[in-house]
Amino acid sequence: MNTKRTRRLTLGAVAAIAALGLAACSSGGSSGSDDTKGSGGDTIKVGFSQLGAESGWRTANTDSVKAAFTKDKGFDLTFVDAQQKQENQIKAIRDFIDQGVDAIAFSPVVETGWDQVLQEAKDAEIPVVLVDRTVKTSVSDPYATYIGNDFEKEGETAVAWIKKNAADAKIFELQGTLGSSAQVDREKPVDSELGSQIVGKASGNFTRAEGKAATEAALQAYPNMTMIVSHNDDMALGAIEAIEAAGKKPGTDIKIVSFDGVRDGLQALHDKKINYIVECNPVYGDQIADLVKKVVNGEDVAKSTIVPDEAFDQTITQETIDARKY
């Protein structure tokens, strides 16, 4: 249990006993109080550090978080966009600690380099909830819980499709931000199962512009490539621009397998410019808020919560795309 919360409960109990004693001496009635934060009791003060706004997926995730952590739902949210810089996230987390928030949630830019600031949060007895991405740290029990997608399983789903539909593909791997758990875990099954077919790799940093630039260079460096495995849809959309500018047909001359399932990516899938997309659902702000509330109130929570994903091929309907929330 969170000891910071335990002390608050203890003080609340003492105050309640004193209040009951005063009420017994008066002729008026007494009323109870709800000491559960976020459900009619005190407001939960939360600091959330989002890693950036690099993609349509990230924007949808941010919108979902902000919609879930509102004042009418019992939260006082301080939201910081780190602009894809770890130093900005570390500063934000330290600011949250100084502000004495009840909980810290963040989506780490990369996996490593968090030891000191996570220890500081632990020393301040402020629980941490990891969102979307994980960390590697030497700190003992550094966070209360993680919620996000299973990136490695997503990679395995993509590999299974490639083996069935393009077994002899010559693959260029368009990587996400190097060192991020999304990049590392999606890449694991691709490398282990299809390593001999990979002709080259480069990072597009999860952005459309950098995905386009990386693909432009790859078209020159690897003229024999027949497939791009892109770690997200935004980079895949940039790759489509580069392929078309080179006079080739995306989805035919060069097949594309991608991750995320944002509306623009699914539209390109429907238009036969992308061949397969493994979803990474970003809309789980309410689940994050529920976990934060439970952690702050000292309730037991699972160490990891995995958000379910789907996968889509070119049979996707326009109705499915139009109904997409992101």
Do 8 and 298 form a contact (C-beta atoms < 8 A)? Answer: no
Structural tokens at position 27: 């002729």
- Confidence (pTM): 0.85
Q: In Å, how far from its chain's centre is CA 16?
A: 40
Question: How many residues in the chain?
Answer: 326
Residues 6+ away with beta carbon under 8 Å from 232: 55, 57, 176, 182, 206, 258, 259, 260, 280
- pLDDT at position 39 is 59
- pLDDT at position 173 is 98
Q: The domain 3-12+42-149+282-307 belongs to what CATH superfamily?
A: Response regulator (3.40.50.2300)
Angle between helices 233-245 and 263-270 (to 10 degrees): 40
Confirm whether 3-12+42-149+282-307 and 151-280 share one CATH topology: yes
**pLDDT string in tens for the chain (326-residue length):** 444 444 343 333 333 333 333 333 333 333 334 556 765 568 999 999 999 999 999 999 999 999 999 999 999 999 999 999 999 999 999 999 999 999 999 999 999 999 999 999 999 999 999 999 999 999 999 999 999 999 999 999 999 999 999 999 999 999 999 999 999 999 999 999 999 999 999 999 999 999 999 999 999 999 999 999 999 999 999 999 999 999 999 999 999 999 999 999 999 999 999 999 999 999 999 999 999 999 999 999 999 999 999 999 999 999 999 999 89
> What's the 3-state SS for the chain?
CCHHHHHHHHHHHHHHHHHHHHHHCCCCCCCCCCCCCCCCCCCEEEEEEECCCCCHHHHHHHHHHHHHCCHHHCEEEEEEECCCCHHHHHHHHHHHHHHCCCEEEECCCCCCCCHHHHHHHHHCCCCEEEECCCCCCCCCCCCCEEEECCHHHHHHHHHHHHHHHCCCCCEEEEECCCCCHHHHHHHHHHHHHHHHHEEEEEECCCCHHHHHHHHHHHHHHCCCCCEEEECCHHHHHHHHHHHHHCCCCECCCEEEEEEECCHHHHHHHHCCCCCEEEECCCCCHHHHHHHHHHHHCCCCCCCEEECCCCEEECCCCHHHHHCCCC
Do 54 and 206 form a contact (C-beta atoms < 8 A)? Answer: yes
- pLDDT at position 235 is 98
Q: Which residues pair with 279 in a beta bridge?
A: 260
Looking at the domain that runs over 151-280, which CATH code has it been given? 3.40.50.2300
Domain borders along the chain are: 3-12+42-149+282-307, 151-280
